[in-house]
Amino acid sequence: MSTLQSTKFEQVQHIFRELVGRETAVTVRAPGRVNLLGAHLDYNEGWVLPGAIEPSVWLAAAPTTDNRVTVRALNLGETAAFQLPHLELFASSVGGNWVNYPMGVAWALQKAGYDLVGMDVVLVSDLPQAAGLSSSAAVEMAFLLAWETLCGFELDNLSRAHIGQKTENAYVGVGSGMMDQFACVASQANQLIYLDCRTFSHELLPLPSDTAVVLVDSGVRRRLASSHYNDRPAECREATAVLQQHLPHIKTLRDVSLDELELLGHHLPETLRKRTAHVVGECARTNSGAAALRQGDVAAFGRLMRQSHISSRDNYENSTPELDLLAATAWAVPGCYGARFAGGGFGGFMQILVAETAVPQLIESINEAFGQEYGRIPPSLVTKLTDGAKVVSVSDVP
């Protein structure tokens, strides 16, 4: 563990002892993620390029004997509880929707045939919520790893990601793919995951050691289950159905080429044509981005990030004025390779790939431009790509 992670580990251990009055049996760290290319491609079975980041969820837990799961979410100042094994879909509004994520993981694991134990849990996070950095996936994977450890079973990373996706799709009600969960558990330091979301084959591709990822908070928060996020998968399915009349071999928009879209795009209503243009173009950009990383051409990769943001803004229509200002300001800074917003859009963070030497100028320029437009300084943090979720400690606790 890094020095920072060691400090976080000691803090969560201490907090658990103070609040629960017991020693921890398992401690888990689960990171957030960026997705530098491949916006909204996971549910289209396309290609994505995510990687885990240093801000993380920390979970400390000990088993109970009454099948009751009690979760103290310190960042929210809330405590919620639920009883195993019977969990109804969309059952809980206690403490807001956040508790549906651990409940959903328990539900999905039980549906898969795993017997679970109750837990006393303390949850601590320095990962912003509703910001496009996959805090929900981090919570899901933290609980999953804790139950694996306490219940004596072990899943591979792909199975973990599918449990997380089932939690999102069938329990929480978000029509996402499994990229976030896979990136959370499968990432390695200083590398992006080039992931095929149809075959689930993947390749680790390094970023140059002298680059940094700067995350800037637009201040706009959204809830994916209640935003227009779920409209986009539905629109993609509708566009696929129209194009299948002319291209019967296609299964998703991933299978449509740029030439085919140019030839057949007039069959689509304007909104569906724009959505398709983004997906087809983003597939090409992500594959080109992987090729650029293999060649060590981070400048070419950054140009593709810029094109991705513009396509999201104009074709997928899931950006915001705040995000667009952050992107345009970043693009103009020497040493900035590329920038596009994080996650599903409709708010959240801007993710910026930049030379380490240019970070101070980048932040200064963003603070000035954003302050002039909106009268406030946007919070920012500088991070590196890090390892995926891990069980940090295990001990025998009665």
Nearest to 132 by CA among 180, 187, 181: 180
CA atoms within 13 A on the CB side of 175: 17
One-letter amino acid at 251 equals K
Q: Return the pLDDT at 49.
A: 97
Q: How far is CA 335 from CA 24, 68, 96, 353, 358, in A?
A: 45, 52, 42, 9, 5
Domains of the chain: 3-206+386-394 (3.30.230.10), 211-383 (3.30.70.890)
Question: For strand 211-217 and strand 390-394, is the pairing parallel, antiparallel, or unpaired?
Answer: unpaired
Q: What is the pLDDT tens value at each position of the chain, 398 positions in all?
A: 676 677 787 888 888 888 888 888 999 999 999 999 999 998 999 999 999 999 999 999 999 999 999 999 988 889 999 999 877 655 444 444 788 999 999 999 999 999 999 999 999 988 877 667 788 999 999 999 999 999 999 999 999 999 999 998 888 887 777 889 999 999 999 999 999 999 999 999 999 889 999 999 998 876 544 456 678 999 999 999 999 999 999 999 999 999 999 999 999 999 999 999 999 999 999 999 999 999 999 999 999 999 999 999 999 999 999 999 999 999 999 999 999 998 778 888 999 999 999 999 999 999 999 999 999 999 999 999 999 999 999 987 55
CA 137 to chain centre: 6
Q: Tell me what pLDDT residue 228 has.
A: 66
HEC readout, 353-372 = EEEHHHHHHHHHHHHHHHHH
The answer to pTM > 0.85 is yes
Give the Cβ contact number of residue 382 at 10 Å: 16
Q: Residue 68 burial (CB < 10 Å; 0-12/13-18/19+)?
A: middle
Q: How far is CA 380 from CA 172, 208, 308, in A?
A: 29, 21, 21
CA distance 85 to 63: 15
User: N- to C-terminal Cα distance for the chain?
Assistant: 27
Transcribe 311-355 into DSSP letters: HIIIII----HHHHHHHHHHHTSTTEEEEEE-TT-SSSEEEEEEE
Rounded Cα distance between 139 and 128, Å, is: 12
- Largest Cα–Cα distance of the chain, in whole Å? 67
Q: Which residues pair with 37 in a beta bridge?
A: 49
- CA–CA distance, 60 with 282 (Å, rounded to integer): 39
What is the number of residues in the chain? 398
Give whole-number Cα distances, 184 to 158, 244, 267, 284, 393, in Å: 11, 34, 39, 24, 18
Alpha helices (runs of H) in 21-156, residue ranges in sequence order: 100-111, 135-151
Q: Which residues contact 154 (CB under 8 A, 6 or more apart)?
A: 148
- Catalytic one among 180, 217, 255, 387? 180
Per the annotation, the verdict on 180 as an active-site residue is: yes
Q: Give me the half-sphere count of Cα atoms (radius 13 Å) on the Cβ side of residue 328.
A: 11
d(CA 105, CA 193): 24
